[in-house]
Amino acid sequence: MRDMNRKISAGVLWNLAGLFMRNGASTVFTLFLAKLLAPESFGLIAMITIVFQVATVIVQSGLGQSLIRSESVSQTDLNTVFYTNMVLAGLVYAAIFFSAPWVAHFYEQPVLVELLRVTALVVFFNAAKMVQVAVLVRAMNFKAQMKANTIGVLLSGTAAVVAAYAGFGVWSLALQIVASAVVSAVILWISSAWRPSFSFSAEAFRRHFSFGANLLVEGLLQVGFQNSYVLVIGRFFGAELAGLYYFARRISDLSSQQFTSAVQQATYPALATLQNETENLKAKYREIIQVTMTIISPIMFLIAAFSEPAVNLLFGGKWLGAVPHIQILSWVAVLYPLHALNVNALKVKNRSDLVLKIGFFKKAFSLSILVVSIPYGVFGIVLGQALASTLALIPNAYFSRRLINYSLMEQINDISKPLLSALVAALSAWAIVQYMEAHDFFKLMASGLLGLLLYLVTSLAVRSGGVLIIVAQIKRRLS
């Protein structure tokens, strides 16, 4: 168990190092691009995001997850998955190429035809690097992935800013998407020693696809669901409002989803070794959820508290319409780790069938709320999204209780202290923002510092489990 803790800690640290570097760079590039481009440009990219995300899910087909969780894999396994991915990439890109005019007609935006055909090229590069990622994850070599993703963000972001300065508009965002995929794929191939050879096994394909098929369908549902809000807003309310919503979601996702993804990627291969040890598996998930919520809760609540002066100062007045969306989506972002880690537990227990069933139920429920909320405008849609995310915890936790005996009430108890501590900090920060007469910069500094200080003090006072785990880890490393 101690060796596992060491592996998980090292993996999380490398992933977090990459996360902080990528997010830091992404924030800087987003700042420049938001100042140079109009909300409509972000709205156009948001409209087509669903298409190449669906393409990427189809190409991956859950096969990478199957490779990672397998006790052992052969060269034939890796070859089979690699060639399957590349064939699927070709088929999917052809479908996108010929359907692009229909997508443009749906949104009534002719520019989307060429924009979609160019950005969809990412499916080839994502397909080419998937086996390399699986090989590195199995070896728990997260350093190489950190380098690839960070360099990809830096180079693609720089290219996008230069293109935006040169007046390329929305095409600068398309360049950023494609360049990031190309650079990360090239570096991952350089970092990994694995190379494909000429072999293919129908048996290996069936074995991996039997696990990945449910994840494929769930992935398609997830991508469709995540982008359904942009799709509806873009279709009924126009590119500008779609851009404001997309921008708000990018801000809220910047910390929560990427941090959770880093934790999942680092812990999944190690936790898979505990799939038959329910008690130990539950204990590990409790620790991971407590630590994750201890970090995510104050970040997202404080972002909600000082979003108005932050957006005005960093991005300009043209983006202030995104502030109410950022504030509401911050709650969705707080809940995201619970959703993701509950689903991760099902994957570890080899129940991809339940991942699919739960995903279908949650998304059908959430889409029902989306349809009902359309008459209430974009604000009503975002409120409906927050409500749906909250209620969707119930089916997630139900199966966690059945499989690892981790009930919803236990999860609420584990996250209650960081949530309450973060709420106290955020309310104090919000009061400063509302009543302090000063420049936005000084409002941000004062509210941020006070908020973080109050969070730490409150967390220690109530003996928040996540804080105690972090402190214990620090003491062990220093001793």
pTM of the model: 0.73
Q: What is the pLDDT of residue 421?
A: 92
Neighbours of 206 (CB within 10 A): 11
Structure confidence at residue 380 (pLDDT): 94
Instruction: Please give the average per-residue pLDDT across 304-310, as a whole number.
Output: 89
The answer on pLDDT for 271 being more than 80 is no
Could you give the CA distance from residue 362 to residue 233 in angstroms, rounded to a whole number? 21
Residue 374 burial class via C-beta count within 10 angstroms: exposed 0-12, middle 13-18, buried 19 and up: middle
Q: What whole-number distance in Å separates Cα of residue 253 and Cα of residue 242?
A: 16
- Name the residue among 420, 432, 421, 428 with its Cα closest to residue 451: 428
* Mean pLDDT within 179-198: 89
Phi-psi region of 113 (alpha: psi -120 to 50; beta: other; left: phi over 0): alpha
Query: How high does pLDDT run on average in the chain?
Result: 83
pLDDT value at residue 371: 92
- pLDDT band per the 50, 70, 90 thresholds, residue 14: low
Q: Which residue has the higher pLDDT, 378 or 254?
A: 378
What would the pLDDT profile of 404-416 be if each residue is shown by its tens digit?
888 889 889 988 9
CB-based contacts of 285-288 (< 8 A; 24+ apart in sequence): 285/341, 285/345, 285/400, 285/404, 285/406, 286/406, 286/410, 286/414, 287/469, 288/263, 288/341
pLDDT of 61 over the 70 cut: no
Those residues with Cβ within 8 angstroms of residue 42's Cβ, 6 or more apart along the chain or in another chain? 34, 173, 243, 246, 247
Q: What is the pLDDT of residue 419?
A: 92
Position 116 pLDDT exceeds 60: yes
pLDDT in tens, 445-464: 888 888 889 999 999 888 88
Q: Say if residue 82's pLDDT is above 60.
A: yes
Cα(310)–Cα(327) distance, integer angstroms: 12
| Model pLDDT, residue 25 | 64
pLDDT at 11: 52
pLDDT of residue 140: 72
Work out the average pLDDT over 111-122: 91
The average pLDDT across 114-119 equals: 92
The whole-angstrom separation of Cα 419 and Cα 415 is 6
Backbone angles phi, psi at 37, to 5 degrees: -115, 155
Digit-coded pLDDT (tens) for 360-375:
888 888 889 999 999 9
Residue 205 has pLDDT above 70, yes or no: yes
Kindly state the average pLDDT of the residues 21-29. Answer: 63
| DSSP assignment letter at 231 | H
Q: What's the rounded Cα separation, in Å, for the pair 262 and 333?
A: 15
Distance between CA 100 and CA 354 in Å, rounded? 34
Tokens 């692009």, residue?
100
Q: What is the pLDDT of residue 224?
A: 76
Task: Please report, rounded to a whole number, the percentage of residues in the chain having pLDDT higher than 70.
Answer: 92
pLDDT band at 266 (very low <50, low <70, confident <90, very high): low
Task: Check if the beta carbon of residue 20 is closer than 8 Å to that of residue 186.
Answer: no
- pLDDT, one tens digit per residue, over 313-325 is 888 888 899 999 9
pLDDT for position 342: 84
Residues 239-260 have a mean pLDDT of: 82
Q: Tokens in use for 293?
A: 């919520």
Q: Which residue has the higher pLDDT, 446 or 215?
A: 446
Query: Which residues, 6+ apart, have CB-to-CB distance to 474 below 8 Å?
Result: none
Interatomic CA distance for residues 35 and 30, integer angstroms: 8
Cα–Cα nearest to 401, from 363, 346, 337, 358: 346
Segment (H or E) for 433: helix 408-435
Cβ pair 300, 334 in contact under 8 A: yes
420 or 15: whose pLDDT is higher?
Answer: 420
Q: What is the pLDDT of residue 57?
A: 75
Asked if residue 446 lies in contact with residue 432, where contact means CB atoms within 8 angstroms, the answer is: yes
CB-based contact 337:396 (threshold 8 Å)? no
Is residue 69's pLDDT more than 60? yes
Q: pLDDT tens across 153-185, in order?
A: 889 889 999 999 898 988 998 998 899 889 989
Q: Picking from 77-91, 330-344, 349-363, 389-403, which range would have the lowest pLDDT averaged per residue?
A: 349-363
Give the Cα separation of 447 and 168 in Å (integer): 37
Q: How far is CA 252 from CA 16, 23, 256, 301, 453, in A?
A: 17, 12, 7, 10, 22
